[in-house]
Amino acid sequence: MKNFLFIICSLFFIVGLQNVASAQVTIGTPEPPVAGALLQIKNIENVKGEEVNSNKGVMMPRVNLKSINELSPILPDDYDKDYENLIHTGLMVFNTNDDLPDSNGIGLYLWNGENWKPLTTSNGIDIEATPSRIFLSAFKASDKATVTVKKSGQTWQMTSIGVDASSSMTSVQNDKISELTFTRSTSFSGDKMYTFKLTNKPEHQAQISVSNLDLELGKEMIRVGAGDKNGAVNSSTAVRAIGGDGQWEIVDFSRDKFNWKKEPKNENGHLVFVLGDVKGGGTVQGEIKVRHANEPLLIKTIKIEQNQSYVALPPFDFLVVKYGPGSAIPSGTSIDIDSATEVMKTNMKAVDNTPVGYIGTTYWDARVDGTKYMLYAGDNKHTGSETSYVDIPKLNEILAKQSNVSKQIEIGMSAWWYSNSTSMKSATVTVSVYKGGEMVLDSDNLTYNNMIKGVIQQPLESFPSSAKVLNMRNGDASNTTYKKPGMYTPMFKLEYDRVDNTGVLIPWNNWE
């Protein structure tokens, strides 16, 4: 190194004698440097611009660095770091210490005022993984990759994070190259990041992201009405792409089955479309095909059912259900309806099929661990009506305590006529929804009002269903027998999306 510095100093001295009045220097030729350079090194004359001006290089001093955070051995071990570290910023050397901790080993390094920064990739201690991403699915159960180290005899260790059970790995090592085989799980989907670290240099690592892809449909059938309100769908739970980039796309849809006012699209993960009037009336069915963006073969089908009578509900907190006569009560007669309102298909045993209403006896409320989520107002025999309501925030609070509950649930409404009501055949359900406030029992009319600061609020929406003929009581009913043939008649049900807080009210024709 002393010889190197002596030569460099000598060259500067010689050039300095030749260019006493100049602050710019060229080493290698007598030509002046380019205008913007204090020092230019070249050995080919009469070359301008970007053309090659040298066939030799600059040999940097070779130093066996001791620490990535110190200037030793360039300076004594006890050097003044507060002073020397800063003024040596920009110092460059060629490190010859292959075992320098936390470094890239042998190569060029630049001192940045605090530590040595490598200017070259590591020499002999790299580890590489190819490819860096692997996509598995039902159409590709396994795939291969390689991990390569640059030195024979080097070993690596593997760690992983993510959905651990989504995939597994086996490896076969042959000198510097290890062949890896990744196999998907048939039970768990998602992403798993595998990290491969050199055993003797754990700071050197490579990674492979393995995605076990799947498409999850919120429900197999989406029911929709007609027009800008009842025919509109904007669902964040209809489709979920699991793994990879987490994106899905529309493949195809039933173009001729429906009057599409807005064709189906993926808008920020929401399935969005609008249907106009029903073609031909009645009920029409079609489909939308979607696929995972990372696997073109991974396609699933969403069934679409349209009926003009299906009603879409806006986001709400309280669902009030009032059962009553489907026509005027004949003069001088009295009627009595018995109703059952229940939550279904939540996948929580304590909630599903636990009705409120009058079913052989009075069920005033439904609750879990003391939290009431559904209440019954009582039997109003003057009007032949019964009213119950569902507290959606309380219900969601209960369901959130269990991990495997459904995001798509149903609220069922059924009834029959008591045996003194032979003058009445049909009944209706009037559904009202409210946002905010609190539900307060009206004990005079045996119904519920939504109140804010003592003021009765109007519902966001309220509408009666079409009339439906009910069974007449022909025996005793209970909460275990009311769904048997000849007992309560299923009237309507609400298909409710817990995530989007929206629902569709549809006729309920058969017990499930």
DSSP per-residue codes, 99-164? T-TTS--SEEEEE-SSSEEESS--SS--EEEE-SEEEEBTTB-EEEEEEEESSTT--EEEEEEESG
Neighbouring C-beta atoms of residue 298, cutoff 10 Å:
22
Query: By percentage, how much of the chain surpasses pLDDT 90?
Result: 76
DSSP characters for 337-356? EEEEEEEE-SS-TTTTT--E
Nearest alpha-carbon partner for 2 in 52, 63, 53 = 63
Give CA–CA dist 106/110, Å, rounded.
13
Give CA–CA dist 98/306, Å, rounded.
71
If pLDDT is split at 50, 70 and 90, which confidence band does 220 have?
A: confident
For residue 371, pLDDT beyond 50: yes
pLDDT digits (tens, 9 = 90+) for 344-356: 999 999 999 999 9
For residue 21, pLDDT beyond 80: no
Query: What pLDDT, on the 0 to 100 scale, is given for residue 153?
Result: 83
Query: By percentage, how much of the chain surpasses pLDDT 70?
Result: 95
pLDDT digits (tens, 9 = 90+) for 30-67: 888 887 788 888 888 888 777 888 888 889 999 999 99
For residue 327, pLDDT beyond 80: yes
Neighbouring C-beta atoms of residue 412, cutoff 10 Å:
22
Coil vs helix vs strand at 396: helix
For residue 116, pLDDT beyond 80: yes
What are 483's two structure tokens? 């769904």
Helix (H) or strand (E) holding 85: helix 81-87
The residues pairing with 283 across neighbouring beta strands, listed in sequence order, are 307
Query: What pLDDT, on the 0 to 100 scale, is given for residue 48?
Result: 78
Give CA–CA dist 152/123, Å, rounded.
13
Query: What pLDDT, on the 0 to 100 scale, is given for residue 122?
Result: 58
Same fold, 127-212 and 215-307: yes
For residue 183, pLDDT beyond 60: yes
φ, ψ for residue 15, nearest 5 deg: -60, -40
In CATH terms, 215-307 corresponds, of 3.30.450, 3.30.420, 1.10.3470, 2.60.40, to 2.60.40
Fold classified for 127-212: Immunoglobulin-like (2.60.40)
Q: Which residue has the tokens 């939550």?
A: 343
> Are 344 and 411 within 8 A, CB to CB?
yes
Query: What pLDDT, on the 0 to 100 scale, is given for residue 4?
Result: 42
Query: What pLDDT, on the 0 to 100 scale, is given for residue 351?
Result: 97
Neighbouring C-beta atoms of residue 92, cutoff 10 Å:
14
The mean per-residue pLDDT over the stretch 336-341 comes to: 96
Give CA–CA dist 277/288, Å, rounded.
18
426-434 and 318-325 beta bridge pairing: antiparallel
Domain boundaries defined on the chain: 62-118, 127-212, 215-307, 311-507
For residue 1, pLDDT beyond 80: no
φ, ψ for residue 82, nearest 5 deg: -60, -30
311-507 has which CATH code? 2.60.60
